[in-house]
Chain A
């Protein structure tokens, strides 16, 4: 609701409105930017890419005849020469992380890659390119350099990881900006990176709306890929590719110049998006999420080092279920962390009746519930709130400052909500000092919970039940890694990273 208001305000004032007070995305110190272009009408025919870590010196890769498969794999090899060294350079210093409740130690890299593409179409390009490359063979009939399937594995890893809410290894600039600012234009228009940037960061002396309208002309601001401007295709690209096919000596140079002209505005735009997001003060849990990204990167690097197989073509029944569980858990955690990190995000939940903020007017911190088998400490507090209280009694609630404490809504009378608390109060019969909110304290409770769930048990792939088609027929063939856990991802249900309180 608050974001709808922000959109209306943006439309009325012509200036994009912030949706957050902090940044929720880790901005890596050394990102790799990649702006890909694909040939129209093909599912995946790379046409060109600007790629690199130095904004002043991007490397241009061109496929002069995108329908030629040899040239396509030459492009892949050239891209690998840019991307793989970047990935390897992230594998420097490591740190020890306690695992399994301190019984073991896990090692992870201090750094991880962060690849920026202009938009979700760029993420899809990465996914498709990864799929087309990771099963290529380095021997046999059409051999490719070893770097090509290796690049395919890494691109697949990045695209898979991008599905995980809160991950920052592969970033679509429009999505990242859209999560932090509201514009006065539609979601479809927001998918055009130059227009989105025009709203958020208009040139001197112009409104966002005016600058965005100007950015819509593809002749002035070409699309940020992977799809190209049809007029460019017809008037520039097609004649140049035809000239290349005829063997015209100047064709490659003219093609490269034309494509560079199409790509450079998007290249600059992605860097501007990076700068805008990097300038935001990071939220409290951003570092913890980046830590999980580093875990994943470390794990997958180790998997490839050990000669691990590429990701299977499809998730097996077990792998799909386990992955869905991981994604849903990550989504819940990310929503909770965003709300806890950012009062503006929390306000949206309060407006929707999913959270409330108020003052503690009554507290019974030593209340004991002895109706069960043994008496247990169950303090009760009464919170007086001006927020609309629409929650039903029995709803489970959490407070941002007390992540280990669960509250249950006992009753609501007018503006007063009575809550019963459990957990997070130490082991004694009386709660530890400060663990139960005191009278006069201003507290916030939300329905967003991050309750620890025991690791879910999924059957082993070879025990896939008859209801799901039984065990995979050929675990070694079509689905090389069957239902194995995706290396690098923490095991499903693993306790989340400790979140700094407050």
Chain B
């Protein structure tokens, strides 16, 4: 245990070093913007809370731009909880009713217009809400989840701030649109880029920091996820091997148990189904996802981490899939005792954290591999939500499918090349899963 504790403290020291460098850049004020790349669970929110408090301490009014109301409420709760004398404003839609975690703080005011917030030190709102604010400027902005924000959303918000800290996870899903956006391909202000991409293309000399430690992912996952999805920004797990562990209580009976026991042993498991071409809502695969969640709960499991030892309850389990109809199929297949298990799409699982996740592989049962299903961000979100283990459910034959459909996205002039390539990331992850099976 001595060794493990030592490793954790070095990890903490490295993480603190980066955080200090970020705050020093903010304080120096040499650059108009500072960018922080954060791998999954690397303490992004902690950084945002700390930066907001430090900026508030200088007396500069700060605006925080998050992407969803959920994220705004989370940030308000965390900042208000960290410092009950800091006056906070929560910009909201007219029909917003404060959630309990916002309403419980006496230092938070909620209003639809900045003027009604009584000049708080920190004002938090969604990007969509900030876009409706037509007047006033803030010396500082913190843009949270900046890789989920589209460049056109930043364009509407940017006139409101002088300088900004951009924080986000580059491995998440790219912004998307339902219309054809080809006419802007290669243009430096292509509105389909992420906010960070457009910012760095016009301000290439801005300081770029990378948080080096994932506190969420266990060592078994950090290495795999970093190699597959963050080839340019390696990171490590914040915990030593053996600190995170979990085991199932009841005796194993069938293949589901073998899969779960493998996941408990190695942190990963591939639950392979016979090869078949299926519709998107593959009933057998959906049933397998649901059955795995059900079995985990009926056998019962106990998870130990650096904070606590606790049973793995339904709230600590998530099932992820690529499409909404798959989510619906899995949800309707869940046994009654597993009804509280979260089932959602990759888009909606972004930023969330569980002990064990069960993932329906985006390419399972498919005849072709489209750009949507190959997107690295989608697979990355699905396979980086867990603190203990991730179980992937898939029809056999995906490597062959990948080989039959190599990436053939056209290459455009003046468009920065994006890494990782989804095709390579899929192969890397599958290779690792195949290796854990034995």
Interface status of B233 (Cβ within 8 A of chain A):
no
Cβ of A469 < 8 Å from any Cβ of B? yes
In the complex, A478 has a CB within 8 A of chain B: no
Nearest CB in chain A to that of B133: its residue = A457
On chain B, the residues within 8 Å of A327 by CB distance are 179-180
* Contact B131–A457 (Cβ < 8 Å): yes
Decide if B203 touches A467 in the complex (CB within 8 Å): yes
Known: A163-B180, A331-B178, A457-B131. A463 touches B159 (CB 8 A): yes
Chain A contact residue count (CB 8 A cutoff): 34
* A321 B152 Cβ-Cβ under 8 A: yes
Q: Are A317 and B179 in contact, CB atoms less than 8 angstroms apart?
A: no
User: Does B419 make an interface contact (CB < 8 A)?
Assistant: no
| The stretch of B7-15, B77-85, B188-196, B218-226 that contacts the partner chain | B188-196
Q: CA–CA, A359 to B134, complex, Å?
A: 45
A498 within 8 Å of B (CB atoms): no
| Interchain CA distance A202-B155 in the complex, whole Å | 52
A147 within 8 A of B: no
Is the beta-carbon distance between B155 and A318 smaller than 8 angstroms? yes
Measured CB to CB, the closest approach of chain B to A130, in angstroms, equals: 13
**Is A459 part of the binding interface, using a Cβ–Cβ cutoff of 8 Å?**
yes
Query: B26 at interface (Cβ–Cβ under 8 A)?
Result: no
Distance in Å: Cβ of A109 to nearest Cβ of chain B = 27
Q: Give the distance in Å from the alpha carbon of A469 to the alpha carbon of B188 in the complex.
A: 9
**Cβ-defined contact, B156 with A459, below 8 A:** yes
**A282 CB within 8 Å of chain B:** no
> CA–CA, A320 to B134, complex, Å?
20
Residue contact A320 to B152, C-beta cutoff 8 Å: yes
* A316 surroundings in chain B (CB, below 8 A): 189
- Is B187 a contact partner of A314 (Cβ separation < 8 A)? yes
Q: Which of B177, B183, B198 contacts A328 (CB 8 A)?
A: B177
**A467–B178 touching, CB < 8 Å:** no
Beyond A321-B152, A457-B132, A457-B134, whether A468 also contacts B328 by CB under 8 A is no
B179 touches A328 (CB 8 A): yes
Q: How far is A441 from B134 in the complex, measured between Cα atoms in Å?
A: 45
B295 at the interface (CB under 8 A from A): no
Judge if A165 is at the interface, Cβ distance under 8 Å.
yes
The reply to whether B33 and A467 contact each other, CB–CB distance below 8 Å, is yes
Question: B331 to A465, Cβ gap below 8 A?
Answer: no
Cβ-based interface call for B199 (8 A):
yes
- Evaluate contact between B190 and A320: CB separation under 8 angstroms: yes
Closest to A165 in B: B179
- Chain B residues within an 8 Å CB radius of A314: 187
**A315 CB to nearest B CB, Å:** 7
Most chain A beta carbons < 10 A, residue from B189, B192, B325, B332: B189
Instruction: Check B331 against A468 for contact (C-beta < 8 Å).
Output: no
A102 sits at the interface (CB 8 A): no
Interface residues of A in 464-502 (CB under 8 A from B): 464-470
Q: Please tell me if A145 contacts chain B, counting CB pairs below 8 Å.
A: no
User: What sequence of 0s and 1s flags, for each residue 104-128 of chain B, a beta carbon within 8 Å of any chain A beta carbon?
Assistant: 0000000000000000000000000
Type the 1/0 row for B140-151, where 1 means its CB is closer than 8 Å to any CB of A: 000000000001
Q: Are A467's CB and B199's CB within 8 A?
A: yes
Rounded to whole angstroms, the CA-CA distance of A390 and B326 in the bound complex is: 10
Chain A residues, CB < 8 A from B177 = 324, 328
Q: Which residue of A lies closest to B201 (CB)?
A: A469
B181 within 8 A of A: yes
B179 touches A468 (CB 8 A): no
Minimum Cβ distance to chain B for residue A343 (Å): 21
State whether A320 touches B189 (Cβ < 8 A): yes
Specify the chain B residue showing the minimal Cβ separation from A160: B183
Q: How far is the CB of A459 from chain B (nearest CB, A)?
A: 5
**Which of B33, B151, B181, B183 neighbours the largest number of chain A CB atoms within 10 Å of its CB?**
B183
B372 surroundings in chain A (CB, below 8 A): none
Contact with B along A317-353 (1 / 0, CB 8 A): 1101100110110111000000000000000000011
Residues of A within 8 A of B32 (CB): 466
Q: Kindly state whether residue B202 has any CB partner on chain A within 8 Å.
A: yes
Roughly how many angstroms separate A458 CA and B198 CA in the complex, as a whole number? 16
Q: Would you call A454 an interface residue if the criterion is a C-beta within 8 Å of the partner chain's C-beta atoms?
A: yes
Chain B residues whose CB sits within 8 angstroms of the CB of A388 once the complex forms: 328
Name the B residues within 8 Å of A353 (CB-CB): 324-325, 328
Given contacts A321-B156, A327-B179, contact A466 B191 (CB under 8 A): no
Bound-state Cα–Cα, A195 to B137, Å: 60
Please tell me if the beta carbons of A320 and B191 are within 8 angstroms of each other in the complex: yes
> For residue A456, which residues in chain B have a CB less than 8 angstroms away from its CB?
131, 156
> For residues 161 through 189 of chain B, which have their beta carbon under 8 Å from a beta carbon of chain A?
164, 177-181, 183-184, 187-189
Q: Is the CB of B203 within 8 A of A352?
A: no
CB neighbours (8 Å) of B151 from chain A are 321, 468
Within the complex, the shortest CB–CB distance from B133 to chain A, in Å, comes to 9
Interface residues on B, range: 35 or more
Nearest Cβ in chain A — how far from B390, in angstroms? Answer: 24
Q: Using Cβ atoms and an 8 Å threshold, which residues of chain A touch B189?
A: 316-317, 320, 468-469
CB atoms of B183 and A321 under 8 A apart: no
A314 to B187, CA, bound (A): 8
With both beta carbons as reference points, the residue of chain B lying nearest to A325 in the complex is identified as B152
Chain B residue numbers with a CB within 8 Å of A324 are 152, 177, 179, 181, 184, 191-192
**Docked complex Cα distance between A458 and B132 (Å):** 9
B401 at the interface (CB under 8 A from A): no
Within the complex, what minimum Cβ distance (angstroms) separates B105 from chain A? 20
Which residues in A have their C-beta under 8 angstroms from that of B183? Answer: 163, 315
Contact of B198 among A315, A325, A454, A468 (CB under 8 A): A468
Among A315, A459, A463, A468, the residue within 8 A (CB) of B202 is: A468
Bound-state CA distance A331–B83 (Å) is: 45
C-alpha spacing A314/B180, complex, angstroms: 16
In the complex, the chain A residue whose C-beta lies closest to that of B202 is: A469
Report B28-56 CB contacts with A as 1/0, cut-off 8 Å: 00001100000000000000000000000
Near A by CB (< 8 A), chain B positions 199-232 give: 199, 202-203
Question: In the complex, are the beta carbons of A466 and B203 less than 8 A apart?
Answer: yes
Tell me the bound Cα distance from A468 to B97 in angstroms: 35
Interface residues of A in 294-318 (CB under 8 A from B): 314-318
Contacts of B363 in A (CB 8 A): none
Beta-carbon contact of A467 and B155 below 8 Å? yes
Q: Quick one: which of A438-470 are within 8 Å of B by CB?
A: 454, 456-459, 463-470
- In this complex, the member of B131, B179, B325, B331 whose beta carbon has the largest number of chain A beta carbons within 10 angstroms is B179
Q: Are A320 and B187 in contact (CB under 8 A)?
A: yes
B residues 292-324 with Cβ under 8 Å of A? 324
Are the C-beta atoms of B155 and A321 separated by less than 8 Å?
yes
Q: How far apart are A311's CB and chain B's nearest CB, in angstroms?
A: 11
Q: What is the minimal beta-carbon distance from B368 to any residue of chain A, in angstroms?
A: 12
User: A325 to B155, alpha carbons, bound, how many Å?
Assistant: 12
Nearest A residue to B161, CB-CB: A465
Given contacts A320-B152, A467-B158, contact A390 B331 (CB under 8 A): yes
Q: How far is the CB of B283 from chain A (nearest CB, A)?
A: 13
Measured between beta carbons, the chain A residues less than 8 angstroms from B134 are 457
Instruction: Tell me whether B155 and A317 are in contact (CB under 8 A).
Output: yes
Assembled-state Cα–Cα distance A468/B187 (Å): 11
Q: Kindly list the 5 A-B residue pairs having the minimum CB-CB distance in the complex, ordered from nearest.
A: A390-B328, A465-B158, A321-B152, A317-B189, A469-B202
Q: List 7 A–B pairs whose Cβ atoms lie within 8 Å, in order of A's numbering.
A: A316-B189, A320-B184, A457-B131, A463-B159, A467-B164, A468-B154, A469-B188
**Interface on B for A, CB 8 Å cutoff?**
32-33, 97, 131-132, 134, 151-152, 154-156, 158-159, 164, 177-181, 183-184, 187-192, 195, 198-199, 202-203, 324-325, 328, 331-332
